[in-house]
């Protein structure tokens, strides 16, 4: 059975001093705590607060790839929760038009990544 949840907040576990993402059932009946790493919690907090960073973060890259492919995340389903590890499945939906090629942050034609000046 799938239960739609949203991020309710972030907090620190006072025992392990690790961040916890709190997911809440949209019907308001249950919560699911998920312990995450410090970097993941920081990325979630930045996104929740709509703070922009000088360089794209990993989730920005994934979002840009999906957008370039005219695809969006439909849902993320937690399929198992074992030994404090959540395994999830991501379901994405593609728009009607097909994408044959997509470029992201292309370098100018005259430069290469390892070019010395």
Q: What is the mean pLDDT of the chain?
A: 78
Mean pLDDT value of segment 46-62: 88
More confident residue, 1 or 6: 6
Assess if residue 110 is contained within a domain.
Answer: no
**pLDDT over 80 (residue 70):** yes
- CATH number of the domain encompassing residue 52: 3.10.690.10
Both tokens of 92, joined, read 């994405």
Assess if residue 33 is contained within a domain.
Answer: yes
Report the relative pairing of strands 31-35 and 19-25 from DSSP bridges. Answer: antiparallel
**pLDDT over 50 (residue 117):** no
Assess if residue 104 is contained within a domain.
Answer: no
What's the pLDDT score for residue 96?
Answer: 60
Q: Phi and psi of 94, rounded to 5°?
A: -105, 145
Detail the DSSP E strand segments found in the chain: 5-12, 19-25, 31-35, 71-82, 85-94
Is residue 44 within 8 Å of 7, Cβ to Cβ?
A: yes
Assess if residue 65 is contained within a domain.
Answer: yes
Number of compact structural domains in the chain = 1
Assess if residue 36 is contained within a domain.
Answer: yes
Is residue 54 within 8 Å of 63, Cβ to Cβ?
A: no
State the pLDDT confidence band at 114, using cuts at 50, 70 and 90: very low
Mean pLDDT value of segment 6-10: 92
Range of the domain at 58: 5-94
Q: What is the pTM of this model?
A: 0.67
**pLDDT over 60 (residue 35):** yes
Mean pLDDT value of segment 93-103: 52
The CA-based diameter of the chain, rounded to the nearest angstrom, is 60
Is residue 95 within 8 Å of 67, Cβ to Cβ?
A: no
What's the pLDDT score for residue 100?
Answer: 38
Is residue 68 within 8 Å of 19, Cβ to Cβ?
A: no
What does the alpha-carbon distance between residue 66 and residue 117 come to, in Å, rounded to a whole number?
34
**pLDDT over 70 (residue 33):** yes
């Amino acid at each position: 059975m799938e239960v739609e949840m949203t991020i309710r907040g972030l907090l620190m576990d006072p025992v392990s001093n690790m961040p916890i993402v709190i997911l809440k059932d949209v019907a308001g009946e249950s919560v699911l705590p998920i312990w995450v790493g410090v970097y993941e919690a920081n990325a979630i907090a930045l996104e929740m607060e709509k703070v922009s960073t000088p360089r794209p973060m990993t989730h920005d890259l994934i979002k840009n790839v999906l957008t370039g492919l005219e695809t969006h995340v439909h849902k993320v389903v937690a399929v198992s929760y074992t030994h404090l590890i959540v395994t999830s499945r991501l379901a994405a939906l593609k728009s009607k038009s097909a994408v044959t090629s997509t470029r992201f942050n292309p370098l100018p034609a005259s430069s290469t990544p390892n070019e010395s000046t």
